Structure 1
Amino acid sequence: MTVISSSNFFAAGLMLLTCSAPALAAKPTAADRAWIKTCIDQRQSSHEVPAKLRKYCTCMQDVVEDNQPFENVTALERTYPPAHEMCWDKAGRK
């Protein structure tokens, strides 16, 4: 009979949760998709690759509060400067 210590059991559970987190992520709502589309439309002038824009805008949408209205992507970037840089890094902007 094998005895599993509580610390090993906890570590295994934590690993399982960490590995399954992407599978548990919620699908974007219609409002989320509209928000991301508006962000992409406003960033078209940056001449970034569309896939990078989508990654950037999706990341920014994840950062902002759900009840925050989207008016202008530049104003949003000024409100969340560390997130703005982090999201461009995630999107692969150099």
Structure 2
Amino acid sequence: MFLNVFGELPQPLIDTQILAAFCGRPMSWGFASMVEEYSGVTLDKSESRTDWLARPLTERQCEYASGGCLVSVTDHRKAYGRNGGLRLATCGAG
């Protein structure tokens, strides 16, 4: 989406599924499972399979997307040190 709309990709871009695989999780491990294990927050996945290409997004889609972003930032800060370096010791620590 960023490439199509803005002509560039955000940097750095983190694929949480690949990051989780490096921490010993299966590639099928989803974002919601990761969030729940590391933060204790259960995401409402009812909007995860809706049509994200349709515009405008529904209010529920926007709420789902923003909730994921807030939790993602929290998880990112837990996985990375203050200086931005990955602390591999946190992988799988739960």
Q: Report the TM-score, using the length of structure 2 for normalisation.
A: 0.30
Q: Say which structure is richer in helix.
A: 1
Bigger RCO of structures 1 and 2 (CA < 8 A, at least 6 apart): 1
Larger Cα-atom Rg = 1
Q: Report the TM-score, using the length of structure 1 for normalisation.
A: 0.30
